[in-house]
Structure 1
Amino acid sequence: MSWKASFQQGVSNFKRNKYSEALAFFDEAISLGCDSFTIYDSRAAVHEKLGNNKAALIDAKKVVDTAPDRWQGYARSARLFHALNKDEAALKMIDLAFERIKADDVQRRQELDALKSQAIDSLKAAKERRRARIAKTAYHIGKLPVEIFSEIFGLVIAADHAQILKLTHVCKHWRGIAIKTPSLWQTLVVSKNHPARKIQLWVQRARTQISDLSFHHNIPEMEWSSILSELTPLSWYSLRSLAVSGTLFSRIHNLLHQLSKTEIISRLEHLDITGCEGFEKFLPDFEDSHLETLKVDTFTRSMNQLWSRVHRLKTMSIDAGLVEILPALKANPSLENLILYDLVPVPVQSDGDSCMQLSDLRCMKLFNIQLVSLITRVVVAPNLQVLHLFSIGRSSDVLLAFAHADPLRALRELRVGSCTTTASSLKIILAGAPLLETLQISRIHGVVNDVLDFISGTHPNDNNQDVCASLKHVDLSSCDDLLTRSAYSLVKTRLHADQPVTVDGNQPGCRSEIESLRLDGCPLIEADMLPWFRRKVQVFSCVYMSKKEAKQRR
């Protein structure tokens, strides 16, 4: 049989969809010497029907090589490239085919236009998939300069210095940057777990530039020698904050004396010291002190000599002891935070005005203070924003001094508990505090219902003005005489849906809704009203008694 007969037989079988038989005849025709582009194009068509795209592409390339001026090889190659997801090559073949198709062959041009649109759409979809895959897997942050990386780490460390350890465990890249950035290691907290080893590591990574140094109180005394040995190479002039027990503070002071660097004490800006006997021997080192924060546990009478040397305090926190409060305040007129626990103020003879104007004082917290009037009657704080008074003894009315003073118009948070006061004093303070957002009244009998009626407007003030329009958070825990109607009125009168609306839809002088309400330990609150409170208040708590108390009552 000649190649022509084989070719014709193959075409006949192809038309009858007998692709395997057609392929055999086309192979026979080629083996008999047929080298026309037509037979390669025909065999490519058979391979395309059988799904042999790669074999079909080889024959289509043969068509292009043997008849480069004909469009058939380029058009078939374009279809095959598109089927193989090689759309860029398909678009090139389509352009070459367009150049060879006659202008009046509208049908084939339309077919190629449709194929070109499909190839373009597939190419866009592939690029989008590639972009999405890169977005999920690519390490974009690794392209940041080291300086920017360090700044980001610094922001994380500023919020919580302990995060430095987590950052070093993320990956090798992060660990390398963190270890090579000394500023990230300037806060050192020493605990009982391998203290000497930790100091050595931190001092090395901070390149001796430790600025904040803290010691836990449970460090065994046997570790102190090794701790001091590791601290010796420290660049002490960079130290700005120190938290330490009194005994260890004495050992550190001796070390500084050996290094002739005791002036470091006066350079400290923050000092937290616990139980320091014999403090008078350190007093000369506080001359012209830069202290801004002083926290002392167990304040001794000898420490009162500090007030002739310490004049820049912004935060004073003293837990237990005997304090000459007026000299302390006069020595530090820029005080912003005053926090006192378990304290006995020492009365002193004062020549001239016994009151102290503290214009910068923003926060005052007094806990378990004897003779609190020795403090409250000398403090004038027109810009006070936070006031806490708890467990105040030997006082007829703990708020009396504030009620008789100028209104606390800047007050935002008032917490009073376990002390003696009257509803009239509280109402005077509340009426003069339009910015108040948080109110706590705990363990005070005979006051809370009258005060809530005043705030709710049930018993309005003389000017019929809203009281505490910004109030959002209320804690009335352990008020055993609190009535349900008082708490209900407080919440009800502040619901926006129940406040008066003008014609244009506005609510003039609209009061803030109560966002959190705590009524724990209030036995008179009716259980039937609890679902209503939970619906109307975002955060609501009413626990009648603890498990321990319930067990004791059984």
Structure 2
Amino acid sequence: MAEWKPSFERGISNFRLGKYEEALTCFDESVTKGGSVSQLFDSRAAVHEKLGDLKAALGDARRVIDFAPHQWQGYARCARLFLRMKKPERATKMVDYALERVKPGDTARKEILLALKQEVIDFAAAIKRHISRTSYHFGNIPVEISHEIFSLIVDSDHTLVLTVIGVCNAWRSVALASPSLWSTLVLTKKRPAKKAKLWIQRSGGQILDLKFVEGCLSDPNLRQSFRGFRWETLRTLDTQVDIADIVAPIGDKISQLNQLRISDAGSARNLLELLHKTRTRNLDIRGEHLHFDGVRRILSDCRTLSFHASAQFNVSDIIHTISENPNLTAFSMSIVGHPLMDITPSQLAEIALELPSLQQLDLRSSHWLLTLFCRATMPSLVNLSLSGLKGIGDQLADFLIRHPTTTLTDLKISRCFASDLQLTSLLRASPQLRTIVIEDIPNVNEVVEFLATRPPDSVLGPPCPLLEKLDLTSCASLTSSPIVRLVKERATNEDAVTLGTLLIDYCPLIEPEVRDWLNRNVPSFSCIYTRKKDVRWKR
């Protein structure tokens, strides 16, 4: 018997008894006495593996391969060790070598090795998932691209810049080095002076959008915090308070102001007088006590005008304001108060405004103003909204006589009254309509029936053939039959677009089974029977 063999056999016995330290001593003795067979080193590798010495085990496994390169044992041992060492690529290679060396008839051994390979594959996939979840991929993106991504986020909601800087130090560094992310400043009653100073510093003084919220003027340090503010870069100013004393020293510097929104109508006159040299093109005034006589002398060459306030005013002031801004593209007005008719009805009837660029017209609770616009020239009008004007039948008839409505794409009529013939005549004359909103009118069923009717004369074609969205919210008299006919007609008529959006919220006469049918046949559909506040009241 070879001199090294007795100690080898003792090592095998100790290994089977779980005496790994004694087994290792025996195997080392065998190697010292000249043992140099693959079984000896494979056995010692197994002991090292049990004792947790993976590096030593791998060394012996490699010697097994050196002694028996055409047998599977050494490769299988290496595969298991590489798996424990979290090296799945090497483990995969070793297990493939082992499978190549298994005898064709040894199916049991092959199944064991295939199971080992699957374990390696699963482990590799787990590592990949972990790396994907925990790796900082954003750090590999160039700073310029990071800045663009943050800009898209902040453009959607300016408050998200605070979320961005709170994610990690890397994001914070990029955000703080990007002045454009801090170009919107909203001052509230919560530490407005401190916030203004910080935003001005981070934006390099280039604030584009500035908003004063009610309560911000309570901070006595607010005015001093605007040192370093570059007023000439300001594009949008929105204020709910009187900021005349803040703007007074620098009124002539605000030369690029494009949009001005004043929610404190009482201070509008003073503020507009200070800003009369600006290039304000979009003006929105809201609130109470609007002094229109002072405002109208300052406004000229505006693109959009919006007045939603309470005021006592002369009709001539409104007419003058509109006529002094012939390039208007949008006009919206809702003024609570009785106009002082300083011109006679016959004089009003003679006025013919020229508004070649007007695209959007929104009139609320200003019945006499509709009479004025019905006589205006508006060849570009695409969006018409009328709300709370009561009887509008005569004006609609006059409107149709004087205006081609072929350009209209959006029409809203809310809480107004006109006869069936007058409403349907307007719809028939507007073939480009894509959106119709009809809210709270008594003869809604007749209008829907008209839209659902296929004319006997094929030359005429269906009414409003391009209609995509129909909103009939709060039409309490709306019934199911005309709505169902409309949806079916639009789905089968090749000359009309299929109705894509239908809103019939707060229409109590719509049956539940009809609502379910509409929900299946209209891509975007809503039918809410009751408002939450009404439910609470009933309880």
Alpha-carbon distance change, 21 to 227 in structure 1, aligned in 2, over 3 angstroms: closer
Aligned residue among 286, 293, 314 for 2:282: 293
Alpha-carbon distance change, 130 to 460 in structure 1, aligned in 2, over 3 angstroms: same
Aligned residue among 485, 495, 517 for 1:532: 517
Aligned residue among 467, 486, 490 for 2:486: 490
- What letter is aligned with 1:294? L
| 1:208 equivalenced with 2:205 (yes/no) | yes
Deviations 1:452-505 (A, max 9, x none): 1211016667844111223233333444443432233223322x3xx16xxxxx
1: CA distance, partners of 2:415 / 2:373: 17
Mean CA deviation greater in 429-438 or 455-464? 455-464
3-state DSSP class of the match of 2:251? coil
| 1:275 equivalenced with 2:273 (yes/no) | no
Mean CA deviation greater in 68-77 or 319-328? 68-77
Query: What are the ranges of 5 or more consecutive residues in structure 2 without an aligned counterpart?
Result: none
What are the residue-to-residue correspondences of 1:362-381 with 2, within 5 Å?
362-381=359-378
Q: Please say which structure displays the higher CA radius of gyration.
A: 1
Alpha-carbon distance change, 482 to 118 in structure 1, aligned in 2, over 3 angstroms: closer
Aligned residue among 470, 475, 479 for 1:474: 470
3-state DSSP class of the match of 1:142? helix
Partner of 1:329: 322
- What letter is aligned with 1:233? G
3-state DSSP class of the match of 2:298? helix
What are the residue-to-residue correspondences of 1:101-116 with 2, within 5 Å?
none
3-state DSSP class of the match of 1:372? helix
Per the TM alignment, residue 351 of structure 1 is displaced from its structure 2 partner at its CA by 12
What are the residue-to-residue correspondences of 1:354-369 with 2, within 5 Å?
354-369=351-366
1: CA distance, partners of 2:30 / 2:530: 103
2: CA distance, partners of 1:326 / 1:468: 33
2: CA distance, partners of 1:44 / 1:423: 100
2: CA distance, partners of 1:201 / 1:535: 53
Alpha-carbon distance change, 44 to 338 in structure 1, aligned in 2, over 3 angstroms: same
Partner of 2:506: 520
Per the TM alignment, residue 317 of structure 1 is displaced from its structure 2 partner at its CA by 0.6
2: CA distance, partners of 1:138 / 1:335: 54
Alpha-carbon distance change, 62 to 120 in structure 1, aligned in 2, over 3 angstroms: closer
| 1:239 equivalenced with 2:224 (yes/no) | no
Contact 1:6 1:26 in 2 (8 A): no
Per the TM alignment, residue 293 of structure 1 is displaced from its structure 2 partner at its CA by 0.8
- What letter is aligned with 2:397? L
Alpha-carbon distance change, 209 to 8 in structure 1, aligned in 2, over 3 angstroms: closer
- What letter is aligned with 1:35? K
1: CA distance, partners of 2:18 / 2:374: 112
Contact 2:49 2:57 in 1 (8 A): no
What are the residue-to-residue correspondences of 1:79-90 with 2, within 5 Å?
79-84=76-81, 85=83
| 1:342 equivalenced with 2:329 (yes/no) | no
- What letter is aligned with 1:286? H
- What letter is aligned with 2:461? Q
| 1:421 equivalenced with 2:418 (yes/no) | yes
Partner of 1:36: 34
Mean CA deviation greater in 209-218 or 525-534? 525-534
Query: What are the ranges of 5 or more consecutive residues in structure 1 without an aligned counterpart?
Result: 98-104, 501-507
- What letter is aligned with 1:6? P
| 1:403 equivalenced with 2:400 (yes/no) | yes
- What letter is aligned with 2:431? P
TM-score by length of 1: 0.76
Contact 1:358 1:379 in 2 (8 A): yes
Contact 1:41 1:73 in 2 (8 A): no
Contact 1:26 1:43 in 2 (8 A): no
1: CA distance, partners of 2:265 / 2:275: 18
- What letter is aligned with 1:250? A
Per the TM alignment, residue 316 of structure 1 is displaced from its structure 2 partner at its CA by 0.8
Contact 1:156 1:163 in 2 (8 A): yes
1: CA distance, partners of 2:478 / 2:103: 90
Contact 1:484 1:526 in 2 (8 A): yes
2: CA distance, partners of 1:56 / 1:394: 92
| 1:217 equivalenced with 2:217 (yes/no) | no
Per the TM alignment, residue 301 of structure 1 is displaced from its structure 2 partner at its CA by 0.9
Q: CA RMSD in A?
A: 4.8
Alpha-carbon distance change, 347 to 520 in structure 1, aligned in 2, over 3 angstroms: farther
- What letter is aligned with 1:304? R
3-state DSSP class of the match of 1:493? helix
1: CA distance, partners of 2:57 / 2:536: 91
| 1:252 equivalenced with 2:246 (yes/no) | yes
Alpha-carbon distance change, 22 to 434 in structure 1, aligned in 2, over 3 angstroms: same
Alpha-carbon distance change, 549 to 355 in structure 1, aligned in 2, over 3 angstroms: farther
Per the TM alignment, residue 542 of structure 1 is displaced from its structure 2 partner at its CA by 4.9
Per the TM alignment, residue 93 of structure 1 is displaced from its structure 2 partner at its CA by 8.7
Per the TM alignment, residue 25 of structure 1 is displaced from its structure 2 partner at its CA by 10
1: CA distance, partners of 2:31 / 2:227: 96
Alpha-carbon distance change, 20 to 533 in structure 1, aligned in 2, over 3 angstroms: closer
1: CA distance, partners of 2:151 / 2:295: 37
TM-score by length of 2: 0.78
What are the residue-to-residue correspondences of 1:15-30 with 2, within 5 Å?
none
1: CA distance, partners of 2:16 / 2:183: 79
Per the TM alignment, residue 214 of structure 1 is displaced from its structure 2 partner at its CA by 1.0
Per the TM alignment, residue 365 of structure 1 is displaced from its structure 2 partner at its CA by 1.1
Partner of 2:3: 3
| 1:456 equivalenced with 2:452 (yes/no) | yes
3-state DSSP class of the match of 2:361? strand
Aligned residue among 121, 136, 147 for 1:139: 136
